[in-house]
Copies of this chain bind each other. A is one copy, B any other.
Amino acid sequence: MQAFSLIEIAGTTAFAVSGSLAAMNKKLDPFGVFIIAMVTSVGGGTLRDVLIGRTPVGWMRDPTYVYCVIAGFFLAIVFRKRLDHLRKSLFLFDTIGLGFFTMVGIQRGLAVGLEPSICIALGTITACFGGVTRDILCNEIPVIFRREIYATLCIAGGCLYFLMREYLPFSKDVMSFITSGFIIMLRLFAVRYKWYLAPPTTA
């Protein structure tokens, strides 16, 4: 990644803050907190890069990612007692990251010539897998498998992208912008109106 946009910095940092908070909740030591922060923010992109063979993986080529994680880590440590007040801005960053990283994953898939359905999977992995690894390391069943229609939104956004790509004359940047915005709006609505997926009853 040549140019590290402001929004990517915000997304990476927000993910790092969310990872740090989860780890501090589990009473991990500072090193553990840092690792969970790192994994939460770069884990998704790392898995994506490993799966498509783009190595060394992203954060190894551009230290900006690591700086964002360090910033998020210290923000979480310093403001940990006041983050209740920040919860709204955190949620916003996390949501922006969700929309943004989905698009990054889709673009990376297109760049190596993969099919739309696989690109959507890559977008979802990029946006969601960091949180999954965070939960596994904290010894919990990943939250996105249980509550909140987090990943489903990434998939919906990915479908929108490829529909536009097929039928509308928009440029890549415009489509990326619309897709990210769509995912972000969907999530704001989903949380506001408590949309969720019910588990299939097995009884």
How far in angstroms is the closest Cβ of chain B from A114?
6
CA distance A122 to B202 in the complex (A): 35
Question: How big is the A interface, by class?
Answer: 35 or more
Q: Collect the chain B residues with CB atoms within 8 Å of residue A46's CB.
A: 51
Q: Collect the chain B residues with CB atoms within 8 Å of residue A32's CB.
A: 142, 144-146
Judge whether A56 and B56 touch: CB under 8 Å.
no
Judge whether B137 and A139 touch: CB under 8 Å.
no
- A80 contacts the other chain (CB 8 A): yes
Judge whether B117 and A63 touch: CB under 8 Å.
yes
Interface residues, chain A, with chain B CB atoms under 8 Å away: 23-33, 35-36, 46, 50-53, 55-57, 59-60, 63, 66, 77, 80-81, 112, 114-115, 117-118, 121-122, 132, 136-142, 144-147, 149, 151-152, 196-200, 202
Pick the contact of A199: B24, B115, B144 (CB < 8 A).
Answer: B24
Rank and list the top 6 A-B pairs by shortest CB-CB distance, nearest first.
A53-B55, A32-B145, A29-B197, A28-B145, A27-B199, A52-B56
Task: Please give 10 more A-B residue pairs, beta carbons under 8 A apart, in addition to A30-B200, A51-B55, A53-B53.
Answer: A27-B199, A29-B198, A31-B144, A50-B55, A52-B56, A52-B57, A53-B55, A56-B114, A60-B118, A137-B142
Judge whether B199 and A60 touch: CB under 8 Å.
no
CA distance A194 to B50 in the complex (A): 38
Q: Collect the chain B residues with CB atoms within 8 Å of residue A29's CB.
A: 145-147, 149, 196-199
How far in angstroms is the closest Cβ of chain B from A64?
11
CA distance A132 to B36 in the complex (A): 12
